[in-house]
Structures are given as C-alpha cells and as structure tokens.
Amino acid sequence: MSDRPIRRPPVRICRVKHTSNVQRRRVKSAAEKERDQLSSRLRSIEMELFSTLSSLSHVKSDINYIEGAMATVPSRLQKVRNQGYEIMSYLDENQEILTRKWDENGQQIKDDYLYNIQPLREEARRLQSEIRGLKSRIERGDSSWVRRSLSTLVSDVSSLRGQTSNEANRTASSLKEFKSGISALDRDLKGAEKTIQLVSQASFPWKEGESPILALNAKIMTGEKSEGGFFLTNQRILFEGVKEEVTERKFFIATKKKTVRTLLLDQPIGIVKEISGGTVSFWAGAGIYVRFKPDSGLEEIPFDVKSEEVDLIKKHYNFIVTGEADLEIAKVRGKEKKEAPSKPKVLRCPTCDAPYTREIYRGQTSVQCDYCGSVIPLG
C-alpha cells in the first residue's frame, strides 16, 4: 500500500432545506400575528358590546327597584306609625305623591322599555353570538372570513351603541325623580324603623306625652365606655348601656347569659347647650359631644357613633329644640300647640307657695321646690 494520504471529496452542505424551514416559520408567524390581531379586535368589540348591554340592564333593574319599593314602602310606613312614630309627616305626603305619579306614568315607562329597549337587548345578544362564531373561525384558521366580517360587525355595534344611549338616557331621565324620591324615603324609613326597634328594647319608662324622635346604637366614652342605645325624644336625651353578664358556666364555658340594661344618661332635652361633631378618641374616630348648660353642673359627654350619623343627630336635635317636633306631634294627635305666653307666670310651690326661680328646661315635667323640697308639677 502506498503511504500517500487518501484524498476525500469535499463535503457539500445543502442549504435549500434549511432556507425552506426559515421561510415556513416566517409564514407561520405572520398567520399567528394576524390571528392575534383579529382576536384582540374581537375582544375590544365584545367589551364595547358588554358595556352597551350593561346600560340596558341598569334600566331594567331601576324599574324593578321602583316597582318593588312602591309595593313595600306604604306598609313599612304604616307599621312605624302604628308603633308610635309620630314625626316626619312629610314621609306620608311624599309617599302618596310618588305613588300617584307612578300610577300615572309607570305603565308608559314599562311599555317604552318593552317596545324600545328590549329589542336592543335582543340585538346585543345576537351580536354576542356572532362574535363567538367569529372566534371559532379564528381557531379553525379561517382568518380571511373574519377579516371580511369585521367591518359589518363594527358598524352594527356602533349603531346599537347610539340607539342604546338615546333610549337608556331617555328612560333614565323618566326614572330619576322616582329613584331619588324612593331613596330618600327608604333612608328616613330605615331611621324610623331603627328608632322603633331600639325603643321597644329599652327598659326605662316613658313619660306622659313623650314621643321618640331618634334612637341609634352608640358608645358612651366616659366611665366604663359602655355600648348601648342613644335616644332623643321630644322631652329628654337618654343613653342606656347594654351588656351581657354570664349567669352560668360549665368547665369555664359560659352556658347562660343575661342582658343587663343600665340608664347612664337621663336629662331633659332643654338642659343641653349644644351637640357637635368631632373626633372622640384616636381609635373610635368620629362621634358627637353633648355639652350641657353651665348652670346644670354637668360635664360634656362624648359618644362614639358612625360618621354618617353625626349630622343626623344634630338635625334631629335642632328639630326638637326649635319646637318643630312638638308642633308635628300635636298635629298628629289632633291637638293645637299652645303658644308660650309673652309674660310667663311665676311658678309657685303648691305646698309652701314659694316661687321657683330657676330655669325650667324644655322637656322637664316637674321640678323640686328649693324651700320645702316638694315636687312641683309642670303643666
């Protein structure tokens, strides 16, 4: 054998197949990109359609809300009246006005919804179904069909949005007065219902001619800081602490409890100088301060209440001290409220005939004679 090296032919690299794979990947990427763009466009149209349907659904919800309230508000109002809630006579008047207006216009509003808005809801659902069909075509790779259908779909959705805006705004305008009126009625009725509930649970006796004005849950921020019920009546301001005491235990587990109610504040409403809002403590936050007249000898008392109840308490307090509460109660009871005489008579003790010279506060029903200690009833 020869020692000469064997010469092999050079290796020829075929690049045709490699180039073909790159081209196919480029074509595939372009198709995927188009599908992504079409899917994104359909999602955008679908969101726009969802917003349109939502506005139509709100109209139906508003109609149902008004009809439901019209059916329940009169019975709720009658119930609190039967339970002794005598003030806020405007509730009866507003309820009657709203009921009469709904009787006059409600059917027309519902017909407008049935013939003008309901067809739009059906058209929106048809378009939603069409979008689902186009999404299926994208998944099957039929992008050309989807591309040709988009312009018609966009036009239909745009037209529907315009019609929906006009009809929904027109109906919403008709419902606005009813919604706002019912919302105000419901808010005040809830306050009356809460007042009646707490009054029915209270343990203290009521005075002759006394009528509850406002009651709510609160926490007195002095002493042991008890939770309980805060009451304003046409005669008094009261706070009744409520706590549970364990009466029986088994293996350190409380098996029986009893509710203990303690009257921690009971003063004539006229002894209050003012009720103001403020921060009652770092942890409690918003609340009220009840400040008493200087000659009463009483220190101010803070109460922890909900922030939205601060103005409500102040409003009802002013309603009492301005005499409006007594006027309403007298009207409900069929009695005419007597005007105070320009020159009040001197109050004398029926036992020793000594004059009573101290201030008589609104809500007081009797005072004590400074000379003989007898109780002097107030008319």
- Domain CATH for 218: 2.30.29.30
- Write down how long the chain is: 379
Instruction: Determine the pLDDT at residue 244.
Output: 84
The rounded distance, in Å, linking the Cα atoms of 98 and 219 is: 37
Check if the beta carbon of residue 314 is closer than 8 Å to that of residue 338: no
How far apart are alpha carbons 329 and 363 in whole angstroms? 14
Per-residue confidence (pLDDT) for residue 65, from 0 to 100? 93
- Residues in the chain, pLDDT under 50: 1, 13-14, 16-19, 22, 340-343
Residue 10 lies in a domain: no
At 379, list the tokens.
């008319």
What is d(CA 304, CA 190) in angstroms, rounded to the nearest whole number?
Answer: 20
DSSP string, 320-377: HHTTHHHHHHHHHTT-PPPPPPSSPPPEE-TTT--EE-SPPPTT--EEE-TTT--EEE
Are 135 and 145 spatial neighbours (Cβ–Cβ below 8 Å)? no
Between CA 88 and CA 328 the distance in angstroms is 8
**The last residue of a domain, from among 152, 167, 201:** 201
* Whole-Å CA distances, 245 to 195, 248, 254, 255: 25, 9, 10, 11
Q: Does 283 share its domain with 367?
A: no
The token pair that represents 148 in the structure block: 């040709």
In a domain, 254, yes or no: yes
**What is the biggest distance separating any 2 CA atoms in the chain, rounded to whole angstroms?**
158
- Give a yes or no: residue 7 inside a domain: no
Query: 96 and 41: one domain?
Result: yes
Q: 201, 235, 269: which is the final residue of a domain?
A: 201
- 194 and 223 belong to one structural domain: no
- What is the spatial distance between Cα 95 and Cα 92, in angstroms, rounded to a whole number? 5
Instruction: Identify the domain boundary among 201, 226, 260.
Output: 201
- Let me know whether 42 and 95 are in one domain: yes
Q: What is the spatial distance between Cα 314 and Cα 301, in angstroms, rounded to a whole number? A: 15
Shared-domain flag, residues 299 and 166: no
pLDDT in tens, 154-187: 999 999 999 988 988 898 899 999 999 999 999 9
pLDDT at 147: 87
Quick: pLDDT tens for 244-302: 877 777 777 777 888 899 999 999 999 999 999 998 877 777 899 999 999 888 999 99
Token representation of residue 339? 């005007």
Burial of 34 (0-12, 13-18, 19+ CB in 10 A): middle
Give residue 122's identity as a one-letter amino acid code.
E
What's the pLDDT at 16?
46
Answer yes or no: do 92 and 216 share one domain: no
What residues contact 278, with CB distance under 8 A and at least 6 apart?
286, 287, 288, 289, 302
1 within a domain of the structure (yes/no): no
Does one domain contain both 322 and 359?
A: no
How high is the pLDDT of residue 368? 75
Looking at the structure, tell me whether residues 85 and 194 fall in a common domain.
yes
- The tens digit of pLDDT for each residue in 68-83 reads 999 999 999 999 999 9
Do 303 and 352 fall within a single domain? no
Q: Which amino acid is at 289?
A: Y
Residue 378 lies in a domain: yes
In 10 A of CB 215, how many CB atoms? 25
Same domain, 283 and 359: no
Shared-domain flag, residues 231 and 85: no
Is 98 contained in some domain?
A: yes
Q: Where are the beta strands (DSSP E) in 202-271?
A: 212-220, 227-233, 236-250, 253-268
pLDDT at res. 363 = 67
Residue 358: both structure tokens together: 């101290």
Residues 6+ away with beta carbon under 8 Å from 351: 369, 372, 374
**Structural domain includes residue 316:** yes
Tokens (6 digits) for 177 = 């007065």
Helix, strand or coil, per DSSP, at residue 292: strand
Quote the number of domains for the chain: 3
Amino acid at 66: I
Residue 11 lies in a domain: no
Q: Is 11 exposed, middle or buried (0-12, 13-18, 19+ CB in 10 A)?
A: exposed
Same domain, 219 and 302: yes
pLDDT in the model for residue 1: 47
**Structural domain boundaries, residue 221:** 212-332
